Amino acid sequence: MRTALRTAVVTATATAAFTLVGSLNGEAHAAPQPPFPTGHYSGQLTGWSTPANAIWFGKDFTGATVINDTIAGRIVPADVYRANSVVNGRPVIVVDYARSGLPGIRDELTSDGRGGYNGIGVAGSTPALTFTLRR
């Protein structure tokens, strides 16, 4: 009986250790990532005055591209892809404005768990503003 119990404990401990090492090496199975946004999302700058929100209305996503919906029309296209955040290293959906002549300017999106996204506008590696995107 003791041998069987000892074997079970050793097996469970080894399995847990291999799982931990795998996760530290990036080999563990990660939780499914949220899908890329598609279609129109209304935007709301957080911590900004009403006039700032009267200029930017949201984003229109199509495949791996996005364009901003503003008072001046649909402007400032960007590429969309997955990467790690330059702010905290966590996985994010990146809106990269380099194609619009704005290298180093990007938005980093995370799912809010309700079909929308929370965003951080980043210049280099410095957060510049925050916003939400909702259907």
pLDDT tens digits, 31-40: 567 788 999 9
29 band by pLDDT with thresholds 50, 70 and 90: low
Amino acid at 48: W
Report d(CA 70, CA 43) in Å as an integer: 10
Amino acid at 53: N
**Is the pLDDT confidence value at 59 over 60?**
yes
CA-based Rg of the chain, rounded to a whole angstrom?
21
- Given this model, what pLDDT does residue 33 score? 74
Report d(CA 40, CA 63) in Å as an integer: 12
Q: What is the mean pLDDT of residues 80-100?
A: 97
- Given this model, what pLDDT does residue 93 score? 97
22 band by pLDDT with thresholds 50, 70 and 90: very low
Q: What is the mean pLDDT of residues 74-79?
A: 98
Q: Which residue has the higher pLDDT, 89 or 31?
A: 89
Residue 23, sorted as left (phi over 0), alpha (psi -120 to 50) or beta, turns out to be alpha
Helix (H) or strand (E) holding 61: strand 56-62
Considering the chain, what percentage of its residues have pLDDT values greater than 90? 67
Residue 78, sorted as left (phi over 0), alpha (psi -120 to 50) or beta, turns out to be beta
Largest CA distance in the chain: 77
